[in-house]
Structure 1
Amino acid sequence: MSGPGTQVQHLDGIRILDLFAGPGGLDVAARFLGFKSIGIEWDHNACETRYAAGLPTIHADVSVMRESRFDEIPKSVDVLAGGPPCQSFSVAGKGAGRKALDTVKEFIHRLVHGEDEDRIDSDLHALGDPRTALVLEPLRWLIKAIETEGRDPYKVIVLEQVPTVLPLWDVYAKVLRGGEGRLQGVKYEAECWVLKTEQFGVPQTRNRAVLVARRPGHGAIEPLRTTHMSFGRRRDTSPEGIPGVSGSKLPWLSMAAALEAASKAKDSPVDVSRLRTDGAIRFFVVSNYGSGGDPKNRGRRTSSQPAFTVTGKISRNKVYKSLADYDADKPDRFTIPESGVLQTFPHNFPWSGKDQAQQVGNAVPPRLGMHVLSTVLRGKAPSEEELAAAATWPAVPGTTTEALRVIGCGDESRCPPGSHKVSAVRPESAL
């Protein structure tokens, strides 16, 4: 990181460190809640989106930052967050991590009880998929903070992954509660759950395993209170006709409702006029993935339902306005702003760089992030005003984007090897 004057301006008062930050799902959530964050991200395309959005970032490998650049993390950071890459654990992947869950549990204990880390790394490498080892990085960052003079243990830890990782989060929680070995008596209140995103107002069915931990003294960690109904697969339409009852959940949010609202915002890049029939948004989506174990059995959702899980392959989902278009095989596709809205990013979020669909799919839905961060940091759900404000991203001056690029990449000499071989596409605001 270079340019000390610029660093003070953009890095002062940062509380949250987001490992594997992606384009900024958790950081966007933090910003709307009034917390400053900094992310570490390996992919330079995601970094370009973050710079354009005004999100402080270090373009680096998480492990390298911990091993040799730990002192560059602001000392004001007291919240450790992150979502390690999930491909090896994902149901959609080959599943190296799923097959090795019990082995990885052992690594957690080996790490805490002081076994040689080179030996641990060698054994992790033998598992086949190097990304599997990254699930240990948050624990390694905590140990680093505890063992580094002049640093304090993080007050709060927030981690998320695909549901198959819940058994590992259970082990994490037990280790954090115990404070043994290299944790040097540092203990946490810790809980973990699988959360359904549509139950928090995300127009998408996506399950995430979330772990939250907090130093003692703030009371027990209570489960997050859901705000919306779970998506019922037996219903073909949104349950908008359910009478309002005091204390009842809101209906889950449909794709049509989310895109309609985004399209009405001032200067919105979301234009759904092509999907209207008789004034209403009507379409159905054929998934890129098979279901029921049959790759040819592609799932279908109507516009009055939540989206399928938004993945990096969302641009391959086929959108049809009518059965005639389906029979003629004339599909439409979701645009990047539309895909972002289905993830609850602001309609005008400045997606930049290449592989934007992958960026969108890799992100934590910001609305879910707001509920998690607000609950663990403030002991309450985000307000309706905060959630409403999260629909629009504030304009970011080009000078800010450039300053953050200098902080994040500098002269590119310490960025991940080979990551800048292809020049990043810079947003207009930075030109």
Structure 2
Amino acid sequence: MPSPNATTPTTRRRAVDLFAGVGGLDLPAAELGVHVTGIERSPDACATRRAAGLATIEADVRHYGPGDFSDATVLLGGPPCQPFSAAGTGAGRRALGDIVALAHRLAARHPVARHGHTPEDDLIRLVLEPLRWALDALDARRPFRAIVLEQVPAVLPVWDTYAGILRAAGYSVATGVMRAEQYGVPQTRRRAVLIARRTGTATLPAPTHRPYAKGRPQATGDPDLLPWTAMADVLPGRGPFTVVSNYGTGGDPKARGRRSSLEPSATVTGKISRARVLADDGVEDRFSWVEAGALQSFPPDHPWSGRDIGQQIGNAVPPLLARHLLAAALFA
């Protein structure tokens, strides 16, 4: 399997990325030789995508289907995480049983409404769209050759359900939770992922870096793995600092987490602009957008555009993590 750092193009693979955001999946896909068209309904995320030169359709994914991308052999997707994330209302987590039941209805080819009765339910139901696209492509006898999905860890039961459905349709599927710092990202973000392949055996990418643990020195651990990446490693322009988390545990501001610049960042959320950065010399400020993007492993010249850039960054999948996912899906 080519290294995730390889730049050898694939044989003209084309992909469609549902809920494409600012390009966390699309940037590494392009480096691996895959041409991606992203569907994204946020005008601000689309502004950033266009500034970065990424093929973009500004629309709701429910207005399209695999028949509109007949040359796409790869399906990518990261549905909105807000209903399922720990920082959200929890409505999506409470609805997991309903989503699993609806997924089985889709698999049986029974009708399932694409829109919910409330804005929140409507957002939750978007997690069904990647499965709907995969099944529609199968029914049209043009199945996607590879599928890559990612979401917050709470969605793993949904991915496991999709895995069973896709295996019954002839796919090899792997699911699990990946820790971003184990793939070189300077952040302890955890993501539930699914890789499905029509040929070969689907496996999750092996970690390249050691897991982070509070109090464990960066240089210790498995000698066959690289040290995890600290914030200081990607923000060399700053002196030593401490980050005070932008949200409290259980709503208690006194329980806000702290991370030294010699540690990876905690999960970067859409409220990253609220994180307090305390320099050792007593100066307090905030991360710039370039710095916040670096903690998500975006390149320093990524052209952040539009409004609410913090939300754009927080919603993104780290490109470095995505590169490993894509390499495992396409080259293993």
TM over 0.5: yes
The 3 A distance-change label for structure 1 pair 136 and 99 is same
1:138 aligns with 2:130: yes
The 3 A distance-change label for structure 1 pair 170 and 232 is same
Q: Find the partner of 1:229 among 210, 229, 237.
A: 210
Counterpart residue number, 2:189: 206
Deviations 1:304-341 (A, max 9, x none): 0001111111011000103744xxxxx20000011111
Shift of residue 348, structure 1, vs aligned partner: 0.8
> How far apart, in 1, do the equivalents of 2:77 and 2:268 lie?
19
Query: One-letter code of the match for 1:176?
Result: L
> How far apart, in 2, do the equivalents of 1:20 and 1:154 lie?
17
Contact 1:100 1:127 in 2 (8 A): no
> How far apart, in 2, do the equivalents of 1:65 and 1:127 lie?
20
1:349 aligns with 2:302: yes
Counterpart residue number, 2:318: 365
Counterpart residue number, 1:21: 20
Deviations 1:174-202 (A, max 9, x none): 011112xxxxxxx2011101000000000
> How far apart, in 2, do the equivalents of 1:296 and 1:334 lie?
21
Q: Find the partner of 1:192 among 156, 175, 178.
A: 175
Counterpart residue number, 1:44: 43
Q: Secondary structure at the match of 2:160?
A: helix
The 3 A distance-change label for structure 1 pair 374 and 323 is same
The 3 A distance-change label for structure 1 pair 126 and 46 is closer
> How far apart, in 2, do the equivalents of 1:192 and 1:26 lie?
17
The 3 A distance-change label for structure 1 pair 377 and 203 is same
1:175 aligns with 2:165: yes
Counterpart residue number, 1:318: 276
Counterpart residue number, 2:234: 258
Paired residues, what number?
322
Q: Secondary structure at the match of 2:257?
A: strand
> How far apart, in 2, do the equivalents of 1:143 and 1:289 lie?
39
> How far apart, in 2, do the equivalents of 1:376 and 1:18 lie?
14
> How far apart, in 1, do the equivalents of 2:182 and 2:250 lie?
24
Counterpart residue number, 1:102: 97
Q: Secondary structure at the match of 2:235?
A: helix
Q: Secondary structure at the match of 1:25?
A: coil
Higher fraction of helix: 1
TM, length-normalised to structure 2: 0.92
Contact 2:204 2:325 in 1 (8 A): no
Shift of residue 144, structure 1, vs aligned partner: 2.4
1:283 aligns with 2:273: no
1:156 aligns with 2:146: yes
> RMSD across aligned C-alpha pairs, in angstroms?
2.0
1:113 aligns with 2:97: no
Counterpart residue number, 1:5: none
Matches within 5 A, 1:327-346: 331-346=284-299
Q: Secondary structure at the match of 1:308?
A: coil
Q: Find the partner of 2:260 among 298, 302, 318.
A: 302
> How far apart, in 2, do the equivalents of 1:222 and 1:213 lie?
9
The 3 A distance-change label for structure 1 pair 243 and 132 is closer
Q: Secondary structure at the match of 1:48?
A: helix
Shift of residue 209, structure 1, vs aligned partner: 0.1
Q: Secondary structure at the match of 2:176?
A: strand
Shift of residue 71, structure 1, vs aligned partner: 4.6
1:165 aligns with 2:158: no
Name structure 2 gaps, 5 residues minimum.
Answer: 1-11
More deviation, 40-49/29-38: 29-38
The 3 A distance-change label for structure 1 pair 127 and 319 is closer
TM, length-normalised to structure 1: 0.71
The 3 A distance-change label for structure 1 pair 138 and 244 is closer
Shift of residue 205, structure 1, vs aligned partner: 0.5
Percent identity over the alignment? 49
Shift of residue 77, structure 1, vs aligned partner: 0.6
> How far apart, in 1, do the equivalents of 2:221 and 2:114 lie?
56
> How far apart, in 1, do the equivalents of 2:264 and 2:225 lie?
16
Shift of residue 103, structure 1, vs aligned partner: 1.3
> How far apart, in 1, do the equivalents of 2:254 and 2:221 lie?
39
Query: One-letter code of the match for 2:273?
Result: S
Query: One-letter code of the match for 1:284?
Result: T
> How far apart, in 1, do the equivalents of 2:204 and 2:22 lie?
27
Structure whose CA Rg is larger: 1
Contact 1:166 1:209 in 2 (8 A): yes
> How far apart, in 1, do the equivalents of 2:273 and 2:121 lie?
26
Deviations 1:215-235 (A, max 9, x none): 1x32x2233110111111133
The 3 A distance-change label for structure 1 pair 61 and 128 is closer
Query: One-letter code of the match for 1:37?
Result: V
